[in-house]
């Protein structure tokens, strides 16, 4: 038995298919089958039931897979620790950012690293939370900064709460609703396109409690995408109203291009962000730089 045999078993367990597992492991299907057979021979029992097109772990196979995941993870961490020691430097940074953190952190962090740590390799990937979690689990990314409401707790994730940023409504500085000189109702805002990122069920529920059924994002939001920068640029160029983290529009507000729209009742909702890594994973020294940067920048 060796680590490679265990990796091949896990590949079949995850894909449910010898052909897909062989493709994932860059092997021929026959070579993968021989590897599994060798493992079964070492343990003296069948690990996979091959019933037609379905491949399912036997009870022993499931028990072996649980231990194999830990062993494969620990072996990967040993290799990672050795690589970091051999590098003798800060190591690389591979970060995934949710839509809100992406607006506030991505460009400033790239500029900061280029100016102060030009020798460190930095990779920043904005995108949908579901995709980023998959890349984190595949060890393509080292850490995420995302809205904690968009993820479910899991034993393989280390979730560190960071801060809560106030949400609100933002429009262009010449927007007709600003001319009223008073807080506006949600119904008044619905006369114009509402722009937002996809929202969690919890946030949607709080919006409905605050403003009534018409505030349900599924019906109220007419412009929806994961990229807050695009939403804000759209608001600058139209009468659309941005619904989301006010701090993400800070630059436009300070430049006089945008303004926060007061509502009655006030929104009183925020976005809670978290730093997410794989539980037990060894961090590169450079991650400390990113953690410090996030603590300083991710604020209202």
> How does DSSP assign 119-183, residue by residue?
TS-EEEEE--HHHHHHHHHTTS-SEEEEEGGGS---TTEEEEEEEEEEEEEEEETT-GGGGG-S-
Residues 67 and 144 in one domain: no
Number of domains observed in the structure of the chain: 2
Residue 49 belongs to domain spanning: 3-87
Residues 56 and 155 in one domain: no
Same-domain status, 173 and 273: yes
Structure tokens at 188: 């008044």
pLDDT at 124 over 70: yes
Report d(CA 275, CA 277) in Å as an integer. Answer: 7
Least confident range from 85-99, 127-141, 182-196, 220-234: namely 85-99
All residues at 6 or more sequence positions from 114 whose CB lies less than 8 Å from its CB, including other chains = none
Residue 146 sits in the same domain as residue 235: yes
pLDDT in tens, 42-60: 888 888 887 666 788 888 8
Q: Specify the pTM.
A: 0.64
CA distances from 89 to 52, 142, 151, 284 (A): 51, 17, 33, 9
Q: Measure the CA–CA gap between 271 and 286, rounded to whole angstroms.
A: 27
Residue 121 and residue 62 in one domain: no
- The per-residue pLDDT for range 255-294, each reduced to its tens digit, is 999 999 999 999 888 888 999 999 888 777 788 889 889 9
Do 76 and 219 sit in the same domain of this protein? no
- Model pLDDT for residues 67-122, shown as the tens digit of each residue: 888 788 777 766 766 665 555 556 688 999 988 888 889 999 999 999 988 888 89
- Same domain membership, residue 169 and residue 248: yes
DSSP helix/strand/coil, 28: coil
pLDDT digits (tens, 9 = 90+) for 197-252: 988 888 899 999 999 999 999 999 999 998 899 999 999 999 999 999 999 999 99
pLDDT, residue 164, reads 86
Tell me the CATH number at 82.
Answer: 1.10.10.10
Closest to 276 in 3D by CA, of 109, 101, 32, 96:
96
> Do 79 and 99 have their domain in common?
no
> For residue 254, is pLDDT > 80?
yes
The closest of 118, 123, 91, 145 to 293, measured between CA atoms, is: 145
Interaxial angle between packed helices 99-116 and 287-297, expressed in degrees from 0 to 180 and rounded to the nearest 10? 120
Last residue of some domain: 87, 108, 126?
A: 87
**Are 73 and 121 in the same domain?**
no
> Which residue did the predictor score with more confidence, 82 or 158?
158
Claim to verify: residue 13 and residue 146 sit in the same structural domain: no
Domain containing residue 110: CATH number: 3.40.190.290
């Amino acid at each position: 038995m060796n680590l490679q045999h265990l990796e091949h078993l896990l590949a079949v367990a995850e894909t449910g298919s010898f052909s897909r597992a062989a493709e994932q492991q860059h092997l021929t299907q026959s070579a993968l089958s021989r590897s599994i057979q060798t493992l079964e021979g070492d343990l003296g029992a069948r690990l996979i039931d091959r019933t037609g097109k379905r491949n399912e772990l036997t009870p022993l196979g499931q028990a072996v897979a649980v231990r194999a995941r830990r062993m494969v993870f620990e072996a990967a961490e040993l290799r990672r620790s050795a690589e970091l020691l051999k590098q003798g430097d800060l190591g690389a940074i591979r970060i995934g950012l949710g839509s809100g953190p992406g607006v506030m952190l991505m460009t400033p962090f790239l500029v900061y690293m280029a100016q102060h740590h030009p020798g460190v390799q930095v990779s920043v990937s904005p995108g949908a939370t579901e995709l980023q979690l998959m890349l984190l689990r595949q060890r393509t990314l080292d850490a995420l900064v995302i809205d904690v409401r968009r993820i479910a707790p899991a034993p393989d994730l280390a979730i560190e709460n960071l801060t809560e940023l106030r949400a609100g409504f933002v429009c262009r500085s010449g927007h007709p609703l600003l001319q009223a000189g008073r807080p506006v109702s949600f119904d008044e805002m619905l006369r114009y396109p509402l722009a937002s990122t996809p929202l969690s069920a919890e946030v949607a529920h709080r919006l409905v409690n605050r403003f009534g059924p018409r505030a349900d994002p599924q019906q109220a939001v007419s412009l929806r995408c994961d990229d807050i920068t695009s939403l804000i640029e759209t608001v600058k160029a139209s009468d659309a109203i941005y619904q989301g983290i006010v701090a993400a529009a800070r630059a436009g507000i300070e430049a006089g291009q945008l303004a926060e729209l007061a509502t009655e009742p006030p929104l009183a909702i925020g976005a809670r962000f978290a730093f997410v890594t794989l539980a037990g994973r060894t961090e590169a020294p450079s991650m400390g730089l990113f953690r410090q940067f996030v603590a300083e920048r991710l604020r209202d």
